[in-house]
Amino acid sequence: MLDVSGSLNKANTLRGRLVGAEEYKKSFKDRVWGRKHMVYGIAEADAGDSSVLTLGGMYQKSREVPDFSGIILPCENQKTAPFSSTPACNRPLQLPRNTYLGEDWSRLSADKYNLFSGFKHVFDNGWQLNAEVSYTKNESDAKVGQFFLKNEYAAGLSGEDAVGFLTEKTKSSRSSRKIRHWRN
């Protein structure tokens, strides 16, 4: 992680901050991993004695092979519990601890961008004006094929109750503008 902040000039009228972080995770399960990066920067400039101008941005990047199924205990044999018509697991299937029940092509990726600016002014009579503008863009791509149990009574290693696929690609953006004023 990196976090640096301070004045950018001798008069201390220009200030900045830069933050960066990285995360890498590896699972005990085969082929499951994740990597995330983030960088954020902001600059503030005094515009006279009573005004401050702000400009900044942020970028996040995420890549991973997910494991949605967690640790599962599918049944080798099913039996019906006494006084119930619901099947119960007689003997859980013994799989190695590192078994990944997803497809080799499974992956998730996401990118997020954010730009923002602001202006704040304090008037002599105690009123304040604050104006902000922000733009955010999100992009994600998911292709996941994994074995999972749709319910705790699904048995065996095949069938519609036990296999799931997800394919999704999204893009979205949002912008906002706010102007607020108040008196202290």
Domain ranges of the chain: 2-183
Strand partners, 14: 45
Strand partners, 46: 52
CB 149 within 8 A of CB 160: no
Closest by CA position to 60, among listed 83, 43, 38, 34: 38
DSSP result, 19-85: EEEEEEEE-SSTT-EEEEEEEEEEEEEE-SSSEEEEEEEEEEEEEEE---S-S---EEEEEEPTT-S
Please determine, for residue 162, whether its predicted confidence score (pLDDT) is greater than 90: no
Q: Over range 123-152, report the average pLDDT.
A: 83
pLDDT at 184: 73
Per-residue pLDDT tens over the stretch 107-125: 899 999 999 999 999 999 9
Please determine, for residue 29, whether its predicted confidence score (pLDDT) is greater than 90: no
**Which residues lie below 8 Å from residue 112, measured CB to CB, with a gap of 6+?**
58, 59, 60, 136, 137, 138, 139
CA-to-CA distance for 2 and 148, rounded, in angstroms? 39
Q: Which amino acid is at 80?
A: T
Q: Over range 51-66, report the average pLDDT.
A: 96
Q: Over range 96-107, report the average pLDDT.
A: 83
Residues in the chain: 184
CB 65 within 8 A of CB 107: yes
Closest by CA position to 147, among listed 94, 72, 96, 85: 72
Per-residue pLDDT tens over the stretch 64-78: 998 876 655 555 555
Percent of the chain with pLDDT over 90: 49
Question: What is the pTM assigned to this prediction?
Answer: 0.72
